[in-house]
Chain A
Amino acid sequence: MTQLQARGVVRAYGPTPALRGVTLDVAEGEIVAVTGPSGCGKSTLLHCLAGILRPDAGEVTWRGHRIDTWSEAARSRLRRTEFGVLFQFGQLVAELTAAENVALPLLLAGTGRREARTAALTWLERFGVADLADLRPGEMSGGQQQRCATARALVTEPWVLFADEPTGALDTLTGEQVLTQLVRLAREQRTAVVLVTHEPRIAAYADREIVLRDGLVDHTGLGLDVPLAGGAR
């Protein structure tokens, strides 16, 4: 079932067009990679889908409701309750410990302190950083912070996780461990993921890949049926 839809989404920054009419669907629990060269509009599309940016034209609908026309307050509530967002550099709150950072989305949603802390510790454990629970971001490596940020993005068990180059700042092995775990947990709890990346090997974790080029979906990007030479593999 389609949960999230974009229809002819157009967005410019002043005179610079970033999206020139993008249409796509994301089904419940589906993992979709959005790829394409630098500047093709991936981040802009993610922000429009997540209700962070408003398109200049076109529509974004969430379970049949048009959300691009909603007020900032309503969209921000939607992001808090139904969505999770994860960027390249975790963006943890510097003054809070790892456990407090991960508990924060639950506290904002009205969960009690003790319950939120317990859930935070469980999620830190799932990303292998439970021992860092009482450290602040400044006391952690970039990779450790990113694991905490990933835990924070999933702790509310959102319907959709929007992830923009979530492993872009990590070394190959660390990035892979974080991503494997993210994808595994997302599949377990049926969280859909919109995964922005310019790396083919990261996109390969998704169920489907959408290639953008100059602000449009590039139909020559993928999916051609071609014979394999010699039939060999």
Chain B
Amino acid sequence: MSTPHVLLGLLAGGSRHGYELKRAHDQRLPRARPLAFGQVYATLGRLERDGLVATAGQDRASGPDRTAYELTGEGRATLDRWLSAVEPPMPYVASTLFAKVVVALLVADVDRARSYLVAQRAAHTARLRELTAVKADPAATLSDVVAADFAIAHLDADLRWLHTTLGRVADWHREVHP
């Protein structure tokens, strides 16, 4: 995930302190990997060094948590370019899950690969249920729902793959160990 761009985006509406950015991040991206305060300040520092944000208001001497930041013209242009570029659709198959099945087939037998697939399917299913409960909660906000939807759609795709691969694992093993 692109934390610098997200922070630029959160500054687009006006200047903010580091702790406000952290709070806005957690609210808008509810299921993101946790973002530590230290990471917010380190990222702001780099953005400032590169001229994409500038300090606004409070003086530096009173510490980083007293400092508000704002977008510079260059920062706004960088944000625009980022939003205008589409992400490359799955340029690599870079998944630990996939790699593990391949390695299981290489070093062990069909049963080992199959029991890994079954166990992974159970774990995926459990997570799918958790996220479905989050989403079905009448108190869920649309931010919660949209984030859960994203995870659910990806788990669902993985589950389909786990399922079809379970059906192919014996033939696949024959191909790998002719």
Contacts and interface: CB of A to CB of B under 8 A. Distances in A.
Interface residues of A, number: 16
Contact of B156 (A180, A183, A201, A229): A201
Interface string B115-148: 0001111111100110110001010000000000
Given A200-B156, A204-B128, A204-B129, A224 B136 contact: no
B170 interface: no
Contacts of A184: 136, 138
Interface residues on B, range: 20 to 34
A1 interface: no
B119 A204 contact: no
B132 A201 contact: yes
B79 to A, nearest CB: 30
Given A184-B138, A200-B128, A204-B132, A224 B122 contact: yes
A201 B96 CA distance: 22
Interface in A137-162: none
A140 to B, nearest CB: 26
Contacts of A220: 118
A223 interface: yes
A62 interface: no
A140 B128 CA distance: 33
A205 interface: yes
A129 B96 CA distance: 45
Interface in A112-155: none
Contacts of B129: 204
Contacts of A201: 128, 132, 152, 155-156
A25 B131 CA distance: 26
Most chain B beta-carbon neighbours within 10 Å: one of A180, A184, A209, A224: A224
Nearest to B119: A226
B136 A209 contact: no
A108 B120 CA distance: 49
Contacts of B96: 229
A228 B124 CA distance: 11
Given A201-B132, A204-B129, A204-B132, A226 B152 contact: no
A222 interface: yes
A210 B118 CA distance: 15
Given A201-B152, A201-B156, A222 B136 contact: no
Nearest to B130: A204
A195 B151 CA distance: 23
B54 interface: no
A228 B123 contact: yes
Interface of A: 180, 183-184, 199-201, 204-205, 209, 220, 222-224, 226, 228-229
15 contacts: A200-B125, A200-B128, A200-B155, A201-B128, A204-B125, A204-B152, A205-B136, A222-B121, A222-B122, A223-B122, A224-B118, A224-B122, A226-B122, A226-B123, A228-B123
Given A183-B136, A200-B124, A223-B122, 5 more contacts: A200-B125, A201-B128, A220-B118, A222-B122, A224-B122
Q: Which 7 A-B pairs have the closest CB atoms?
A: A204-B132, A226-B119, A224-B122, A204-B128, A200-B159, A204-B129, A201-B156
